[in-house]
Structure 1
Amino acid sequence: MKNFSIVVLLLSAIIWGCDKSSSTATSGGKQVAGRIVYVNTDTLLNQYDYYKDVVKASENKRYRLEADIANKARNFQNKVAFFQQKAQQGGLTQEQGQTAQAQLQQEEQSIMAYRDKAAQDLAKEEAKKTEDILNNIQAFLKDFNAGDKYDMVIGYSKGGGVLYAKEDLDITKSVLEGLNKKYAEDKKSGKVKADTTSAPKK
């Protein structure tokens, strides 16, 4: 999804940080020099169940919207073809023809307005979900760092601002496990509901 690719860009920057005095911390059983660690954002988003569900739900809604608009367009084209056929056969007076043409123009404008509004609503919903994903990750990282182990957690991705990072600074696995566990608990308790209804076949 184009909108959700923004998440990757945002997470490639610093996704959580606070000012603390320098010391050593432990990550994955290894001693880490300094108090800065990183999360691989590509891996995180590919395997974060909430993100996957949100993208799937958004794609399904987009498919349903496209199918709905396509159906409206087909019905409209059928009405246009019927009007043209009737007009060619002389089955309409001039006044009837003008009235029918005005109605068709109004219906066409209505379909276009519906399409534009639906697309805007979907874009707003995707933006809100993007914000929710970022907020969830940041909130989790604050809880994850309740023991005050780290000064900063950096979002790392290939081609991003961080060109190199030692593997023992990578806490992606622990963060991902924690995020997915919390999401599963939230779904079970009803705090989070993701519409993952299968998209209709085109």
Structure 2
Amino acid sequence: MKNASLILNVVLTIAVAVLYYLHFKGAQPESAAPVATTPADAKGKSIVYVNVDSLLTKYEYFKDTQKVLESKRFQLENDLASKGRNLQNKVTFFQQRAATMTQEQGRATEAALQKEQQDILAYRERAAQSLAGEEQAKNKQLYDQIYDYLKKINGQNKYEFVLGYTKGGGILFADSSVDQTKAVLDGLNKEYAAKQTKK
């Protein structure tokens, strides 16, 4: 959960930087004449924040994704435990029958058991890498969904920044009057629910 929170913080920071760049990229002066700015013209747009912890615990897409990944982790652990028990049974059987085997049979069985153990370790490594890759892809999808939603709701440049707030994170204080967590969560969950009903 801490890892996902850190990833989401990084993602939101990048999203804010991109929105900031896009906003000021299009703001080129039309004439070469200097424009006098009054204090009212210099006033910036709103800066709001989203509580990342709440976003992660209440966004239905994230919760569903975590359930799927947790289920896959559980299946992998069960599969590895089953393979480990099967190997242990073979080792026990080998130890019981070792006295009745020839040296050649003993060496061949021992080599086969060692190869099976190496195969299990290699399988565990591949499965763990595959699961980590899938988790990374899901985190990217999460980032993309949040970024796209923030970009869409900020289509009229209401916000200059949308910060990701996490207790103990980089933002030491955030005024609750600029907390947009509920609005963003409601919008994200509404879009996710609409996508789920289309499936």
Match of 1:93 in 2: 102
Q: TM-score, normalised by structure 1?
A: 0.82
**Residues 96, 82 of structure 1: CA spacing in aligned structure 2 closer, same or farther, 3 A cutoff?**
same
Q: Check 1:126–1:120 CA distance in 2 against 1; reply closer, same or farther (3 A cut).
A: same
Aligned to 1:119: 128
- How many residue pairs match? The answer is 181
Question: What RMSD, in angstroms, separates the aligned Cα atoms of the two structures?
Answer: 2.3
Instruction: Using the TM superposition, give the Cα deviation of residue 12 of structure 1 relative to its aligned residue in structure 2, in angstroms.
Output: 6.4
Query: Is 1:167 aligned with 2:162?
Result: no
- Encode CA deviations 1:14-63: one digit per residue, 9 max, x unaligned: 64332458979xxxxxxxx8421111111111110111111111111101
| 1:40 partnered with 2:51 | yes
Distance 1:155 1:107, change over 3 A: same
CA distance in 1 between counterparts of 2:53 and 2:40 reads 28
SS at match of 2:91: helix
Which 4+ runs in 1 deviate beyond 6 A? 21-24
- Secondary structure class of the residue paired with 1:4: helix
Equivalent residue runs for 1:28-177 within 5 Å: 34-87=45-98, 90-177=99-186
Partners of 1:121 and 1:35 lie apart in 2 by: 42
Cα distance between partner residues in 2 of 1:59 and 1:131: 18
Bigger mean CA deviation after superposition, 165-174 or 9-18: 9-18
* Cα drift, residue 122 of structure 1: 0.3
Unaligned runs of at least 5 residues, structure 2: 28-38
Return closer, same or farther for 1:38/1:173 CA change in 2, 3 Å cut-off.
same
User: Where in structure 1 are there 5+ consecutive unaligned residues?
Assistant: 25-32, 191-202
Q: 1:6 to 1:167 in 2, by over 3 A?
A: closer
Rg larger for: 2
The AA in structure 2 aligned to 1:174 is A
Q: Do structure 1's residue 4 and structure 2's residue 4 form an aligned pair?
A: yes
**Length-normalised TM-score, structure 2:** 0.83
Alignment partners' CA distance in 2, 1:14 and 1:40: 16
AA at the equivalent of 2:7: V
Q: Which structure shows the bigger proportion of residues in helix conformation?
A: 2
Q: Secondary structure at the match of 2:152?
A: helix
SS in 1 for 2:159: coil
Distance 2:91 2:40 in 1: 75
